[in-house]
Copies of this chain bind each other. A is one copy, B any other.
């Protein structure tokens, strides 16, 4: 059994959302599992001096256009929020709290958060909204809210972000297959050929 593919993403990253809608099925076609690794891109940017796409004077408007076209290209529903530079630490905390209990459910939660934000225009920074999403998956609202304030979970998320920096994960989405790094949803065709051929 091969090691799982690592899929790093920030919940506020729309290209990460596009990847999230495709990576599991693509990996499964090649008999591979995916380990979802939400992290805080802002923590990496503090380290690298990077800046979010919308901050760039020309790339910002282009990015919105490219995102909408890329979603149509991939057949993924997208309703881009007015601003998507939001803080995603609460969603990350719930994810890692859940992952330690039920990894499959944690992934369902992550995909539901992504869809809430990028297909349904809901506010994923709100603990209430995260509790709504958790409830729709059978979780108790107060358990979800509790996870966002749990010190052990907070520390775990900090460690994950340090692992991202140590692993040169400088963007979202970022997919690592057996040590081979792929940055961006537009690397899906290369990821597919890599899995087909075992490297090229």
> Which residues from chain B contact A66 at a C-beta distance below 8 Å?
183, 187
A163 on the interface (CB 8 Å rule)?
Answer: no
Majority SS at the chain A contact face: helix
**In the complex, residue of chain B having the shortest beta-carbon distance to the beta carbon of A51:** B49
**In the complex, residue of chain B having the shortest beta-carbon distance to the beta carbon of A66:** B183
> Which residues from chain B contact A70 at a C-beta distance below 8 Å?
190
> Which residues from chain B contact A190 at a C-beta distance below 8 Å?
69-70, 73
Known: A48-B57, A183-B66, A186-B187. A73 touches B168 (CB 8 A): no
In contact, B184 and A186 (Cβ under 8 angstroms): yes
Q: How does the 8 Å CB contact mask read for A162-183 relative to B, with 1 for contact and 0 for none?
A: 0000001011000000000101
Q: Footprint of B on A, CB under 8 Å? A: 48-50, 56-59, 61-62, 65-66, 69-70, 72-73, 168, 170-171, 181, 183-184, 186-187, 189-190, 193, 200
Taking A50-B59, A62-B168, A69-B200 as given, write out 12 further A-B residue pairs in contact, using a Cβ cutoff of 8 Å, ordered by the A residue number. A48-B56, A49-B56, A49-B57, A59-B170, A59-B171, A62-B181, A65-B181, A66-B183, A69-B190, A73-B189, A184-B186, A186-B187
Task: Please list 13 pairs of residues, one from A and one from B, whose beta carbons are closer than 8 Å in the complex, sorted by A's number.
Answer: A48-B57, A49-B57, A59-B170, A61-B168, A62-B168, A62-B181, A65-B181, A69-B190, A70-B190, A72-B200, A73-B193, A73-B200, A184-B186
